[in-house]
């Protein structure tokens, strides 16, 4: 209709504008009518063709919507499947991790179980432990069979724990204190394991020792040992209880006497101890020697001076000799030379002092040398011990601690022995040196007192003679 109106308006305008031409073209109306008829026919054809096309477009749009929905559903299904697959992979990984964790814990338990049981129990569990340890690498076994062998060890361990609650006994062999392998029976009571041979001759506490593949029986007091043997053989009796869990026995066995430490120190240890004994003997001898060294007391010097003043030289000499020792010789020499000049008298008495000095100071240098040499010898022993230790490490490695203990003991013990000897000897040397110097001081003091007394009385006698004259 819009098109008809448009044509009408158009032809109207054309008609108005071309009014002068109407007369010339009388067939315009006819053409217009024909055109309008053709337009109606075209519009009718368009309407006839538009309806099927609209239906086809609607069907296509419906199909597109349906396909879009199917596509969305497929995308959702793909995403859902991807999520499910990832979830399953995570679950599989978690289960695998759990299985690996359980397997590792089983392996750890089996390897630690062998170290936790007593050495006397190893023969009873050796087969189970060996089969469980070899199971993971055995390609002929299924996973279920491998796991079953490992679970057998766990069941055996649980049974062992149940037995430990009340204690249990089992057959076996152990090394006697004389290192002879004997058959007998073990008794597991709490943390302690006891053994008694079949003949009842070997019995005691069982312990593990280095370099020993079998359990070793430790000697205990006879009263206790008899109770152990009776309890194991008859199943009834008194068993000892160690509240220290075996530590008291280890401490008692680790205690050593002096000679054991010296033996650990080796040849250097013997040299140090020998020097120490010699130094102590000389120190005692020197102490007695210094104490026995006599010196003149002031009253003795005054008595001698009185006899010299009186001119009774024989009595003065007898009194000087009665003192004895270096002090007596010194005063006797002074009496003989009492009439000489002061310088000569002093020289004569000082000569006796010089003679006494080596006597008082003898053996003291040896003590000083011993005090200085003992630590050096200890250091020498330490170096020798460490050299032995490194040699053993080179040969045996670091696994055998008992082999290394010899060199380490020598390295440490010699240093200790050197200090043990050096410190007392150094103190004794200092004390004896002071005592010797004190004796020499008293000796010099007596000489000075005698010389001063002689000179003083000689001066008084001269003064008296001049006054009388």
pLDDT tens column, 290-344? 888 888 788 877 887 877 777 777 887 788 778 877 777 887 787 777 777 877 8
Q: Is residue 20 part of a domain?
A: yes
Q: What pLDDT, on a 0 to 100 scale, did the predictor assign at position 255?
A: 65
- Pick the most confident of 214-223, 235-244, 385-394: 385-394
Nearest-10 Cα torsion for 225, 227, 231, 234: 100
Is residue 20 packed enough to be buried (19+ CB in 10 Å), middle (13-18) or exposed (0-12)?
Answer: exposed
pLDDT over 60 (residue 24): no
Q: What pLDDT, on a 0 to 100 scale, did the predictor assign at position 256?
A: 66
Clarify whether residues 413 and 281 are in a common domain: yes
- What's the whole-number mean pLDDT along residues 256-270? 74
Q: Is residue 396 part of a domain?
A: yes
Clarify whether residues 142 and 14 are in a common domain: no
Q: What pLDDT, on a 0 to 100 scale, did the predictor assign at position 369?
A: 92
Does residue 367 contact residue 428 with C-beta atoms inside 8 Å? yes
Task: Print burial letters for 154-164: b (CB count within 10 Å at least 16), e (below 16).
Answer: eebbeebeeee
- Pick the most confident of 232-236, 248-252, 438-442: 438-442
Confidence category of residue 404, pLDDT binned at 50, 70, 90 = low
How far apart (Å, rounded) are the C-alpha atoms in residues 215 and 187?
A: 13
- What's the whole-number mean pLDDT along residues 48-67? 83
How far apart (Å, rounded) are the C-alpha atoms in residues 405 and 386?
A: 10
Clarify whether residues 193 and 131 are in a common domain: yes
Choose one of 250, 280, 309: the last residue of a domain. Answer: 250
pLDDT over 80 (residue 356): yes
Q: Is residue 311 part of a domain?
A: yes
Sign of the dihedral defined by the CA atoms of residues 170, 171, 173, 178, in that order: positive
Confidence category of residue 241, pLDDT binned at 50, 70, 90 = low
Clarify whether residues 272 and 190 are in a common domain: no
Clarify whether residues 41 and 77 are in a common domain: yes
Clarify whether residues 77 and 156 are in a common domain: no
Kind plus residue range of the DSSP H or E element containing 172: strand 168-175
Supply the DSSP symbol for 256: -
Clarify whether residues 341 and 407 are in a common domain: yes
Clarify whether residues 224 and 296 are in a common domain: no
CA geometry: angle 228, 233, 236, nearest 5 deg: 70
Q: Is residue 102 part of a domain?
A: no
Q: Which domain holds residue 357?
A: 260-468
Mean model confidence pLDDT for the chain: 76
- Pick the most confident of 158-172, 279-293, 321-335: 279-293
How far apart (Å, rounded) are the C-alpha atoms in residues 195 and 368?
A: 57
pLDDT over 90 (residue 423): yes
Query: What's the pLDDT tens digit per position in 175-186?
Result: 877 777 888 887
How far apart (Å, rounded) are the C-alpha atoms in residues 243 and 236?
A: 21
- What's the whole-number mean pLDDT along residues 8-18? 48
Q: What pLDDT, on a 0 to 100 scale, did the predictor assign at position 422?
A: 92
Does residue 92 contact residue 123 with C-beta atoms inside 8 Å? no
Lowest mean pLDDT across 22-31, 99-108, 158-167, 423-432: 22-31
pLDDT over 60 (residue 257): yes
- What's the whole-number mean pLDDT along residues 25-41? 77
Hey, which residues does 194 pair with through a beta bridge?
187, 205
Choose one of 216, 250, 284: the last residue of a domain. Answer: 250
Clarify whether residues 350 and 463 are in a common domain: yes
Does residue 386 contact residue 240 with C-beta atoms inside 8 Å? no
What domain count does the chain have? 3
Confidence category of residue 243, pLDDT binned at 50, 70, 90 = low
Lowest mean pLDDT across 59-63, 104-108, 260-264: 260-264
Q: How far apart are the first and last CA of the chain?
A: 195
Q: What pLDDT, on a 0 to 100 scale, did the predictor assign at position 259?
A: 72
pLDDT over 80 (residue 72): yes
Q: What pLDDT, on a 0 to 100 scale, did the predictor assign at position 104?
A: 83
- What's the whole-number mean pLDDT along residues 221-242? 64
Distances (CA, A) of 406 to 300, 351, 378, 441: 64, 57, 16, 52
Q: Is residue 46 part of a domain?
A: yes
User: For residue 135, which of 115, 122, 154, 160 has the smallest C-alpha distance?
Assistant: 154
pLDDT over 50 (residue 400): yes
- What's the whole-number mean pLDDT along residues 379-390? 82
Clarify whether residues 264 and 232 are in a common domain: no
- What's the whole-number mean pLDDT along residues 129-137? 82
Q: Is residue 104 part of a domain?
A: no
Structure tokens belonging to residue 170: 């089992």
- What's the whole-number mean pLDDT along residues 126-150? 82
Kind plus residue range of the DSSP H or E element containing 216: strand 216-218
Q: What pLDDT, on a 0 to 100 scale, did the predictor assign at position 111?
A: 79
- What's the whole-number mean pLDDT along residues 113-121? 78
Q: Is residue 103 part of a domain?
A: no
Structure tokens belonging to residue 332: 């006797």
Q: Is residue 108 part of a domain?
A: no
More confident residue, 228 or 87: 87
Clarify whether residues 296 and 200 are in a common domain: no
Q: What pLDDT, on a 0 to 100 scale, did the predictor assign at position 426?
A: 93
Percent of the chain with pLDDT over 90: 7
Clarify whether residues 195 and 125 are in a common domain: yes
Choose one of 182, 216, 250: the last residue of a domain. Answer: 250
Q: What pLDDT, on a 0 to 100 scale, did the predictor assign at position 83?
A: 67
């Amino acid at each position: 209709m819009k098109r008809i109106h448009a044509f009408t308006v158009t032809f109207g305008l054309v008609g108005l504008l071309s009014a002068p031409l109407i007369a010339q073209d009388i067939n315009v109306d006819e053409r217009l009518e024909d055109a309008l008829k053709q337009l109606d026919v075209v519009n009718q054809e368009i309407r006839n063709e538009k309806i099927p096309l609209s239906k086809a477009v609607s069907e296509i749009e419906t199909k597109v919507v349906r396909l879009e929905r199917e596509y969305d559903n497929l995308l959702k299904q793909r995403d859902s499947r991807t999520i499910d697959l990832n979830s399953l992979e995570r679950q599989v990984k978690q289960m695998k991790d759990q299985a690996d964790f359980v397997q590792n814990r089983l392996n750890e338990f089996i390897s630690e179980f062998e170290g936790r049981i007593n050495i006397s129990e190893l023969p009873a569990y050796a087969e189970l432990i060996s089969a469980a340890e070899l199971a993971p690498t055995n390609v002929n076994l299924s996973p279920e069979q491998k796991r079953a062998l490992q679970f057998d060890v766990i069941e055996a361990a649980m049974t062992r724990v149940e037995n430990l609650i009340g204690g249990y006994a089992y057959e076996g062999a152990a090394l006697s204190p004389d290192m002879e392998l004997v058959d007998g029976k073990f008794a597991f009571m709490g943390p302690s394991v006891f053994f008694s041979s079949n003949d009842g001759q070997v019995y005691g506490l069982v312990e593990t020792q280095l370099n020993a593949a079998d359990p070793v029986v430790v000697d205990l007091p006879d009263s206790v040992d008899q109770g152990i043997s009776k309890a194991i053989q008859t199943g009834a009796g008194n068993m000892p209880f160690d509240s220290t869990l075996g530590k008291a026995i280890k401490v008692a066995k680790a205690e050593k006497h002096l000679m054991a430490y010296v033996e650990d120190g080796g040849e250097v240890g013997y040299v140090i101890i020998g020097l120490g004994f010699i130094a102590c003997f000389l120190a005692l001898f020197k102490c007695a020697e210094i104490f026995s060294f006599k010196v003149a007391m002031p009253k003795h010097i005054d008595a001698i001076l009185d006899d010299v003043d009186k001119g009774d030289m024989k009595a003065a000499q007898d009194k000087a000799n009665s003192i004895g020792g270096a002090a007596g010789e010194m005063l006797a020499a002074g009496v003989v030379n009492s009439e000489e000049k002061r310088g000569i008298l002093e020289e004569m008495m000082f000569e006796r002092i010089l003679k006494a000095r080596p006597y008082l100071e003898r053996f003291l240098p040896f003590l000083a040398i011993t005090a200085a040499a003992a630590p050096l010898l200890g250091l020498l022993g330490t170096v020798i011990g460490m050299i032995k230790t490194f040699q053993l490490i080179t040969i045996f490695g670091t696994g055998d601690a008992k082999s290394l203990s010899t060199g380490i003991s020598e390295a440490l013990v010699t240093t200790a022995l050197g200090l043990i000897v050096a410190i007392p000897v150094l103190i004794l040397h200092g004390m004896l040196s002071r005592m010797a110097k004190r004796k020499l001081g008293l000796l010099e003091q007596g000489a000075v007192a005698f010389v001063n007394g002689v000179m003083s009385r000689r001066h008084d006698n001269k003064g008296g003679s001049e006054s009388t004259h």
